[in-house]
Amino acid sequence: MMRKTLVLLFGGQSTEHEVSCRSVLTIKRAVNQEKYKVLCIGITKSGEWIPVEKEEAIEDGSWKESAERAMILPDAKLSSVLFLGKNGESHLEKIDVVFPVLHGKDGEDGTIQGLLEIARIPYVGCGVLSSAISMDKVYTKMAVEKPLAKIGVRQAKYISFVRSQWENQEKIISKVEAALSYPVFVKPSNAGSSCGVSKAKDREALKMAVENALSVDRRVLVEESITGRELECAVFSGKEGQVESSSVGEILAAAEFYDYDAKYNNPDSKTELHPDIFGEIEEKIRKAAETVFLAVDGFSLSRVDFFLSGEEVIFNEINTMPGFTSISMYPMLFKKKGYSIEELVEKLLESAFHRP
């Protein structure tokens, strides 16, 4: 059997660059080497595309020092990677499938997906539209509002605005204070892993939080603060309209909220794969996760996050390329369901060839 050529894209220009470098190692080690020839291409924070052969170079970051380049061409007849050697030599290599292990902006937001669509290269993950909608917290809320209401699940109350509107700060602050009560969460609309997210307990803190969010994105979301447990559900779809959800896991954050540092750098943050919740609550969360996934036209994979306040299920957000590190919930939840990491990666790669 001739092996298919698989490209693993990792790194990227987002604030989640380091997480991606860890995720790709997990995925690379799980790929069936008898079925796939694996090519790794790292994208630096400044946007250089570099071929990487050794895992050690990913682990220590030395891949970024290479003078070689590798880029996916948009030419649909070629469907290839162009390799440029450090001495100017070049060659093309045909690609069969791409796994864009990229979290956050310029990877999880429809941009890379658009390139792969133009090049007619099968790829793992959600498509252009669902990636773009899900990356933007405001548009996600618009897309899922009615479908969730039908099954009795709500989302946090919010207001949103863009940078130009913030020029009239007093008007925006008055609008926030009329609609919501302190404390509130302030988030950039387009960002992942809680980057740029702050909790504001008063007016002055709100101003600082908005400035922080605007440093990440031009659109800002201000949400009510919800006191509750943080629960997550993984979903998979290998065929249009069919969604398989995992069991529900719980995040036990070692900080006031589960920000980037609490998620990846604080050893006291933990994940619980067997949370103490009623069966009907878990089933409601699983159904809500599937509902959200379908509402944004999801395909292949996503992780959907919720709050549980008392017995009320409240939707938080969806991640269309969740982490695959050793502490990431997506692979752990499907492992609990019976899929080894190798089986899960194989299912994801197969989904690329059945994209609707």
Count of structural domains, the chain: 3
109 is in an annotated binding site: no
- The boundaries of the domain holding residue 56 are 4-123
208 and 343 within one domain? no
**Residue 269 counted as domain residue:** yes
pLDDT of 270: 87
317 is in an annotated binding site: yes
232 is in an annotated binding site: no
245 is in an annotated binding site: no
Q: Which two tokens stand for residue 218?
A: 């031009």
In angstroms, rounded to a whole number, what is the distance separating the alpha carbons of residues 53 and 62? 11
In angstroms, rounded to a whole number, what is the distance separating the alpha carbons of residues 72 and 93? 10
Mean predicted confidence (pLDDT) in 201-218? 96
233 and 344 within one domain? yes
233 and 141 within one domain? yes
295 and 345 within one domain? yes
CA neighbor of 263 nearest in space, from 275, 253, 273, 277: 253
Mean predicted confidence (pLDDT) in 63-69? 97
226 is in an annotated binding site: yes
Q: Which residue has the tokens 């919501």?
A: 180
Domain endpoint, select from 195, 224, 253: 224
Contact 155, 148 (CB under 8 A): yes
Averaged pLDDT of the chain? 94
Q: pLDDT of 118-134, one tens digit each? A: 999 999 999 999 999 99
302 is in an annotated binding site: no
Mean predicted confidence (pLDDT) in 152-166? 96
CA neighbor of 321 nearest in space, from 127, 119, 147: 127
pLDDT of 197: 92
350: helix, strand or coil: helix
pLDDT of 195: 79
pLDDT of 254: 59
pTM for this one? 0.92
275 and 144 within one domain? yes
> Using 50, 70 and 90 to split pLDDT, how confident is the model at 269?
low
Helix (H) or strand (E) holding 284: helix 279-295
Q: pLDDT of 310-346, one tens digit each? A: 999 999 999 999 999 988 999 999 999 999 999 999 9
Mean predicted confidence (pLDDT) in 233-246? 95
32 and 93 within one domain? yes
pLDDT of 15: 86
307 is in an annotated binding site: no
Q: How many residues does the chain have?
A: 356
194 is in an annotated binding site: yes
Q: pLDDT of 16-38, one tens digit each? A: 999 999 999 999 999 999 999 99
First to last CA, the chain: 26
105 and 173 within one domain? no
Contact 71, 81 (CB under 8 A): yes
Residues with a known catalytic role: 16, 193, 328
296 and 253 within one domain? yes
Percent of the chain with pLDDT over 70: 95
61 and 94 within one domain? yes
* Residues contacting 270, CB < 8 A, separation 6+: 251, 252, 254
Q: Report the CATH number at residue 170.
A: 3.30.1490.20
CA neighbor of 43 nearest in space, from 69, 82, 83, 12: 12
79 is in an annotated binding site: no
Q: Report the CATH number at residue 18.
A: 3.40.50.20
In angstroms, rounded to a whole number, what is the distance separating the alpha carbons of residues 142 and 356? 24
316 is in an annotated binding site: yes
43 and 80 within one domain? yes
pLDDT at 266 over 60: no
Q: In b/e form, how buried is each residue of 28-39, taking b as 16+ CB within 10 angstroms?
A: bebbeeeebebb
**Residue 308 counted as domain residue:** yes
**Residue 128 counted as domain residue:** no
167 and 80 within one domain? no
pLDDT at 257 over 70: no
pLDDT at 98 over 90: yes
Got the DSSP string for 30-58? HS-TTTEEEEEEEE-TT--EEEE--HHHH
230 is in an annotated binding site: yes
207 is in an annotated binding site: no
Contact 231, 275 (CB under 8 A): yes
Domain endpoint, select from 184, 202, 224: 224
Please state the separation of Cα 237 from the chain's center in Å.
Answer: 16
Mean predicted confidence (pLDDT) in 35-63? 98
63: helix, strand or coil: helix
Interior angle at CA 316, CA 284 and CA 230, nearest 5: 75
304 and 253 within one domain? yes
> Using 50, 70 and 90 to split pLDDT, how confident is the model at 258?
very low
